[in-house]
Structure 1
Amino acid sequence: MSTTRLLLLGVVRIFQPAYGYQLRRELLTWNVEAWANVNPGSIYTGLRTLAKHGYLQELEQDGAHRPGRTSYKLTADGETEYFSLLRGMLWTVDGFHPDKMQATISFMWSLRRDEVIAALEARISQLESWLKAGPYSERHILEDPATPNHVVEMFRITNARDSGELRWTHEFLDRIRGGAYAFAGEPADWEPYPGMVTHWGEIPAPPDRAPDNQD
């Protein structure tokens, strides 16, 4: 649910105010039904649920509440929730839910470059720690007479995924350190083509940093 919530809040934040059908159509161009396990039919329901919880504001057309004809924009609480989810998924590795990192990549540009670099460094430390512990987990299984030996393969496939993500994270971090991509406070590095299903609106300005303490 957290991945779906981030996707919905994030896409509303980009296009707001936007109609439900626009948001649904945009998310389907991202193939979210394949990698995030988002049922296309549940997108309208998810938008209404976020509005019910105070994260989105519904702007109904002519007072009619129709899923496709209701437009949405983030509330202040929705903005806070968006950044909370985004940062939580970026800073914490969840090997059993790779969709969280994929969703994070979709909205990583709304954070500043230095935070993204720090978060990727933290992810590398987490992954290295898990991989270091892997052989001991395997040994525990193989030495436990009550556990079938084939269970060790569950740990091995998880370690293989973690190894692949570790390699990618190192490479991704190097690219970002080298100036790749655009982040909050930097000029955009791409322009949507005219035939896009929906159009990217003005990217909201990032929140100001807290002022440094002064003596």
Structure 2
Amino acid sequence: MSTTRLLLLGVVRIFQPAYGYQLRRELITWDVQDWANINPGSIYTGLRTLAKHGYLQELDEESGQRPGRTSYKLTADGETEYFSLLRGMLWTVDSFHPDKMQAALAFLWSLRRDEVLAALEARITQVESWLKAEPFSERQILEAPATPNHVVEMFRISTARDKGELEWTREFRQRVADGAYSFAGEPADWEPYPGMVTHWREIPDRSGDGPDRSAD
């Protein structure tokens, strides 16, 4: 649920005010149905739920005598929740839910570079500590007479994933340290295609604050 919430709040934040069909179309291009377990049809329900909880504001567009379309934008609580979720997923490794970091990667540009570097260093430390403990977990299983030895493979497959996570995080951190990508307070490092909303070019000067239009 937290991954879905971050994705919905984050994509609304990019396009706001944005219509449900627009957000659904955007998220489908991210293949969220494959890695985040989000049913495209449930996106509308998720938006209404976030609005009910006070994280989104519904804006009704008048259309003559017909019901108008509903668009959404973040409330102050929604902005706070967005950064809380983003930071939680960035700073904490959850090996059994890789979709959390996948979602966080989509919105890292909302944070300053120094925070991203610090968080990646924290992730490296977390995974390194797990890998140090792994041999002792294996030994405990192998020495327990009532535990089938094949259970150790459950730990070994987790170890393989953790090693991959550690290798990628170290390399990613180095790329960020070397100046790759754009983060809050920096000029955007790419140009949206014609007709795309300009929000993608507006990187906030400070996390959660107004846009820096120096890239325009």
CA gap of 1:65–1:101, structure 2 versus 1, over 3 A, is farther
The offset of 1:65, in angstroms, is 6.8
Superimposed CA distance per residue, residues 56-110 of structure 1 (whole angstroms, 9 cap, x where no aligned partner): 00001228777xx310000000000000000000000000000000100000000
Paired residues of 1:111 and 1:184 also in contact (CA < 8 A): yes
Whose RCO is larger (CA < 8 A, sep 6+)?
1
Matches within 5 A, 1:140-159: 140-159=140-159
Paired residues of 2:110 and 2:207 also in contact (CA < 8 A): no
Equivalenced residue count is 205
Q: Is 1:124 aligned to 2:101, yes or no?
A: no
Partner residue of 1:178?
A: 178
Matches within 5 A, 1:1-215: 1-62=1-62, 69-194=69-194, 199-201=197-199, 203=202, 205=204, 206-207=206-207
Secondary structure at the aligned position of 1:3 is classed as: helix
Paired residues of 1:112 and 1:184 also in contact (CA < 8 A): yes
Superimposed CA distance per residue, residues 138-177 of structure 1 (whole angstroms, 9 cap, x where no aligned partner): 1111111221111111110011000001000000000000
The residue type paired with residue 22 of structure 2 is: Q
The residue type paired with residue 101 of structure 2 is: M
Measured in 1, the distance between the counterparts of 2:157 and 2:208 equals 42
Q: Percent identity over the alignment?
A: 77
Paired residues of 1:13 and 1:204 also in contact (CA < 8 A): no
The residue type paired with residue 60 of structure 1 is: D
The offset of 1:204, in angstroms, is 6.1
CA gap of 1:132–1:113, structure 2 versus 1, over 3 A, is same
Measured in 2, the distance between the counterparts of 1:9 and 1:175 equals 27
Paired residues of 2:79 and 2:208 also in contact (CA < 8 A): no
Measured in 2, the distance between the counterparts of 1:207 and 1:86 equals 11
The offset of 1:194, in angstroms, is 2.5
Partner residue of 2:214?
A: none
Structure 2, unmatched stretches of 5+, are 210-216
The residue type paired with residue 129 of structure 2 is: S
The offset of 1:200, in angstroms, is 4.5
The residue type paired with residue 29 of structure 2 is: T
